Amino acid sequence: MKSKHIGELVLSEQQIQQGVKIVADKLNEKFEDAVVISVVPGGILFTADLVRSLSFDLSMDTISCPHTPGDSNNTSSIVYHENISIRGKDVIMIDDAIESGGTMKRLVEHISNNYEVNSISIATLFVKPSRVEIPVPQYFAYEMNNDDLLVGYGLPWQDKLRNVPYVSKLVK
């Protein structure tokens, strides 16, 4: 894919698939039945890859909370229709990454405060170092060593580049 915004490669397609396996293995050890809630649109690609590697019974749903990547003060509205009941269930929130963590923290609080779930966990491909603390189990494959803005594999720049099959540094 050609774009002036795609910079240095951070995670190749092969590293992404290895990361999917790492996270899937961790979840497969922990769960026998769960509801996975994909944070859309960013988490769609990782969710699709991940759930095909999960060996336990699962149901799927989506949640959204539009935001600007790297914005830790996301105040946009949370859209969750609860298409399937999550009451008494183990819930796994899946997104491509935890960057600042502000949005994921809001989503976890929203689910835990408004629905009687058994547990909440987070599954992402990677996390960034200066993310906020989210007090639930987190399953991820990679911890980045800096907070560079990244694009590809679900991560956008100006609502584009989500379909790039690898993760690269953003060139503004």
| Per-residue pLDDT reduced to its tens digit, 78-97 | 999 999 999 999 999 999 99
Looking at residue 114, which CATH number applies to its domain?
Answer: 3.40.50.2020
Whose structure tokens read 């149901």?
Answer: 59
- Per-residue confidence (pLDDT) for residue 107, from 0 to 100: 96
Is 133 inside any structural domain? yes
Determine the structural domain holding residue 135 and report its residue range.
Answer: 14-67+74-152
Is 158 inside any structural domain? no
The amino acid sitting at 101 is G
Q: How many domains does the chain have?
A: 1
Q: Where are the alpha helices (DSSP H) in the chain?
A: 13-30, 44-51, 102-114
Asked if residue 50 lies in contact with residue 28, where contact means CB atoms within 8 angstroms, the answer is: no
Asked if residue 133 lies in contact with residue 115, where contact means CB atoms within 8 angstroms, the answer is: no
Is 50 inside any structural domain? yes
Asked if residue 43 lies in contact with residue 19, where contact means CB atoms within 8 angstroms, the answer is: no
Question: What does pTM read for this prediction?
Answer: 0.94
Average pLDDT across the chain, whole number: 94
Strands 150-151 and 167-170: antiparallel
Is 8 inside any structural domain? no
